[in-house]
A and B are shown apart, each in its own frame.
Chain A
Amino acid sequence: MARQPAVNTLGLTKDDYQGRPTTLCPGCGHNSISNQIVQTAFDLGLPQHKILKMSGIGCSSKSPAYFLGRSHGFNALHGRMPSVVTGALMANHELKVIAVSGDGDTGSIGMGQFKHAIRRNVPFVYIIENNGVYGLTKGQFSATAEEGLDLKYYGKNTFHPIDLALEAIISGATFVARSFSGDKNQVQALMEAAIHHRGIAVLDIISPCVTFNNAPDSHKSFPYGSKNQIPLHEIQVLSPDYVQAQQEITIDEYAEGEMIEVQMHDGTYVRLKKLDKGHDPRSKAQAITILEEAQRENLFITGLIYYEEPRPTLPDTENLVPQALATLPGDKLRPSREALRDVMAKF
């Protein structure tokens, strides 16, 4: 008899979290990220009907079709995913939104919406699958491509790149991470932490385009990333119960300053064990400094770059009723006949 597949707390198998077969290129970094989303949702036992998958336009934005097949999704317009997410979350703030964008979708056409969603602290996971090129239109530079990058049809990139993690921090994002799609464990840990975050969580994941930008010296290629990635820390995401039970051991295990624990709004802990580069993601100054240094020195740093105690999210500041607006019955939405009569009397 075949071995029974593992099931999660909801009694679902990992297969139940899959989407449709991918149509992206074999080996595309984005597929790896889709897999990590499936794995994370399965591991956490997330109910798929409470998840909303959103995207803009581009290779990356196609990918929500390829994970969480039991979640509603919306492949919207190029660069405009953030506004669609904002509206959807106003309609139903109980939804958990996992949104996928790309470097063209976010860094060029969608820069405005990216920054304004951050400004409003719309609470969702904003994944940027960042490969430095436009794939569907066949290999133009994106705004995140490094200066001097040489591409087959378009020659040498003469412009300075935009660092989307830096842009996110400057705009006021409360959770900003950078990762590499080749580092499955880190992607998964950051994904899990982002899902627990209350507020906007920006994950800038370098996700190589194997077709148009994968030369070994390109900063967003697999060979380059695998060789040059500098993780800032080891990341563990721990449930509140787990931390309490293990507290004494974990504190003894590391010398002071070697480990940072960040407690998230829902009680989850993100534990960061410092590696060779010291970085405290709770300091905005350090976060900006390390990103600037990375850009100047061409260092591919990854990890949780910035984290801030949750600020009020947009649904909080709108002071909405507890029930999702989309599920309110008509009699809760239409004021009474008397109310109209009273208003008319004022004119």
Chain B
Amino acid sequence: MCALHAPTQSLDVTVQEPIVNDFAFSVATKNGSGSQTSNNVLVRTLFDMGIPVNGKNLFPSNIKGLPTWYTIRASKYGYTARRATTEIVVAYNDSTLADDIADLPAGGVCIIRDDIARYAPQRSDIFVYEVPVKQIMKTADVPREFSSRVENMTYVGAVAQLFDIPLDMIYAALLKNFNNKKKPADMNMQVVQLAYDHFRNHVEKRDPYHFAKMNGTAGKILITGNEAGGLGAIFGGVNVVSWYPITPSTSLIDAVNDYRYLRQDPDTGESTLAIVQAEDELAAAGMIVGAGFAGARAMTATSGPGISLMAEFTGLAYFAEIPCVIWDITRMGPSTGLPTRTSQGDILFTHFLGHGDTRQYVLLPASPEEAFEFGWRSFDLAEQLQAPIFVLSDLDLGMNNWMSEPFEYPDQPMQRGKVLDAEALRAFISQHGKWGRYLDVDGDGITYRTLPGTDHPMAAYFARGTGHDEMAVYSERSDVWVQNMERLQRKFETGRSLMPKPIVDKAPEAKIGIISFGTNDPAIHEARDWLAAQGLKTSYLRIRALPLTQEVKDFVFDYDRIYVVENNYDGQLNQIMRIEYPQNMSHVRSLALGDGLPMTAKWIIDNVLEQEGNL
């Protein structure tokens, strides 16, 4: 990525010369109308053309009928953050028409269904193309029952013709979308072709926007974070999955299901992985805690409301020291909040989840590669630390298509942590004189556990949330309690050293540092390039885990000013940093948004400039 190419489009300036591979469009449809196929095919085709692209679905909590938008951004510079405004809108929803057209910048393009065109507000400063949807569908040989689902292909044909997308590549994407089933691909393609022909024969192109093949996606894949996380769990050897359906986490479990075949005997179908749909998130948490206690690699996936319900169990697991993995695909707000909008609002709650003194270990993926890596590594960490590991993704990463490097195979064998089988237990006892479940012989706070089923008369222990001594025996003594908490603190410090380190990009002579985590990453990259082009250099540290590692502390005190960029209202990471580093934090400022949408570069740029101007 070249820092000199400032993203002019974020300033919404109309340019008259041809604009190639550097614009965004928004597709406005009704939920449940089948537009997902059209949108996926468009994104896939652009990706296959070698154009760096993202696709973000802004959808309602609804099965059918409410407005939904899909934004696609193509960027020859490789910027994949969301853009707040788009140059092009596909206006297929009469109920949002007025706003959709009003939001276009001057020089923008509106591709509109002809049967709603008469309701469109008149603007002389935009290009309007009408798609005769009914007429095209009348000509198409499509069975009536599919008609309404396929008619969204008309805008695919229009977009392809107007902006120079090769039809054979659309067809290839359709085949991919339908798992190489020719019949549905052909049916959809027919509609694409008819719309394409209509535009070629009857419509004059006047706008400056074009796509052109380039070499910006070679070797990359296009995948959602939830598919990546589910696949990661499969390669992490997950044994027990228990879950309760909740948006936006459901597709992560669906992915585990889709790739379950990798964990099945091809002849018998017998599996090394059990998947149980629980009656609620309490039970889902209970099942993974039970499974972790008995020695399995167990996980669940949920979102905020489920995390709330899992508080008691994960607090127990922290204290009884039971490995398990909990994915939180974060969505917006408490209660139902905005259930189909993204957020980073669970980081504070999750880090301290559990009553009493609890500090949970949290992984913070920012990309599909990291979702995959943390998908398997979380089990290693859980078993090494004998504790719950939370993986905090969000709706944006989880449910949207992201460009990604292909995933790397795990670089180390599975780490099963300190588990004593009967033989190892005998050796332990002969070395130390005794074994106790919470006896810290290594001084790192991590003790040795045995699993149910271990054939040794001294192997058993009674796990519990009540006060217990080193031998796992019930105790209400204050000194025993405090001693245990001190050991858990030692373990926490060990955990600090085991967690993934932050990604740091230092700019020479920068006086400003940006700290963030997760899916703000693409917006921060873009904002930093833009700011650098304006002469404002910034360094960037992206946190990948809690507890914060030493590198974070070093970074915080290396700069004159630190901006903590996060997608929640309260600035929760900023608060966590203030708990960890109470000293001299006046140079640290919170840039917290929390509007339910993936962050844009423009918001970061505007806020940094405003703060810097006001110094």
Contacts and interface: CB of A to CB of B under 8 A. Distances in A.
A binds B: yes
B464 A75 contact: yes
Contact of B452 (A75, A88, A332): A88
B231 A343 contact: yes
Given A90-B276, A335-B262, A83 B290 contact: yes
Interface string A41-57: 00000011110111000
A344 B275 CA distance: 23
A120 B276 contact: yes
A325 interface: yes
Nearest to B437: A72
Interface in A43-88: 47-50, 52-54, 64-65, 69-77, 80, 82-88
A319 B270 contact: yes
28 contacts: A47-B455, A49-B454, A65-B474, A72-B462, A74-B290, A75-B463, A75-B466, A80-B282, A82-B283, A83-B285, A84-B293, A86-B242, A86-B286, A87-B286, A88-B290, A91-B296, A92-B296, A112-B280, A113-B279, A113-B286, A116-B278, A116-B279, A325-B272, A326-B239, A326-B451, A333-B237, A334-B235, A340-B407
A92 B294 CA distance: 7
B294 A320 contact: no
A177 B272 CA distance: 34
B495 to A, nearest CB: 22
A229 B278 CA distance: 38
A326 B296 contact: yes
Interface residues of B, number: 74
Given A116-B279, A321-B271, A330 B414 contact: yes
A315 B240 CA distance: 11
Given A88-B452, A95-B452, A334-B410, A347 B221 contact: yes
B470 to A, nearest CB: 16
Given A328-B272, A332-B272, A84 B295 contact: no
Given A74-B293, A326-B294, A344-B221, A80 B462 contact: no
Contacts, number: 221
Nearest to B320: A74
A69 to B, nearest CB: 7
Contact of A325 (B240, B278, B376): B240
Contacts of B284: 83
Greatest chain A CB density within 10 A among B262, B278, B455, B462 is at B462
Contact of A318 (B274, B283, B409): B274
Given A80-B283, A87-B286, A112-B279, A327 B295 contact: yes
A334 B412 CA distance: 11
Given A91-B296, A321-B271, A77 B288 contact: no
Interface in B18-33: none
A333 B290 contact: no
Given A320-B274, A334-B376, 8 more contacts: A48-B460, A49-B459, A72-B450, A83-B285, A88-B291, A320-B272, A325-B239, A340-B409
Contacts of A339: 262
Interface string B309-323: 000110010001000
A222 to B, nearest CB: 27
B229 interface: no
A263 to B, nearest CB: 28
B271 A324 contact: no
Contacts of A324: 453
B460 A69 contact: yes
Contacts of A95: 294, 452-453
B291 A87 contact: yes
A11 to B, nearest CB: 12
Contacts of B457: 70
B187 interface: no
Contact of B271 (A69, A80, A318, A343): A318
Contacts of A328: 239, 272
Closest 10 CB pairs of A and B: A83-B286, A87-B290, A333-B237, A326-B295, A91-B296, A84-B290, A87-B287, A87-B291, A91-B294, A347-B221
Greatest chain A CB density within 10 A among B240, B320, B453 is at B453
A76 B298 CA distance: 17
A48 B457 CA distance: 8
Interface string A88-99: 111110110000
Interface in B360-401: 376
A73 B463 contact: yes
A92 B234 CA distance: 19
B74 interface: no
A339 B288 CA distance: 26
A74 B463 contact: yes
Contacts of A71: 452, 460
B274 A90 contact: yes
Nearest to B452: A72
Interface string B398-423: 00000000110110011010000000
A315 B274 CA distance: 8
Given A88-B290, A334-B237, A321 B231 contact: no
Nearest to B279: A116
A112 B286 CA distance: 13
A337 interface: yes
Interface in B243-297: 259, 262-263, 265, 268-276, 278-280, 282-297
A164 interface: no
Contacts of A87: 240, 242, 286-294, 296, 298
A347 B416 contact: no
A333 B453 contact: no
Interface in B465-482: 465-466, 473-474
Contacts of B274: 90, 315, 318, 320, 325
A314 interface: yes
A113 B452 contact: no
Nearest to B468: A75
A277 interface: no
A184 interface: no
Given A87-B242, A334-B414, A49 B290 contact: no
A164 B473 CA distance: 32
B263 A72 contact: no
A113 B272 contact: no
A90 B240 contact: yes
B178 interface: no
B343 to A, nearest CB: 27
A257 interface: no
Contacts of A82: 283, 286
B222 interface: yes
A339 B268 CA distance: 19
A90 B288 CA distance: 9
A233 B416 CA distance: 51
A343 B368 CA distance: 14
Contacts of A85: 290
B276 to A, nearest CB: 7
A92 B453 contact: yes
Given A83-B287, A325-B239, A90 B453 contact: no
B236 interface: yes
Contacts of A86: 242, 276, 283, 286-287, 290
B321 to A, nearest CB: 12
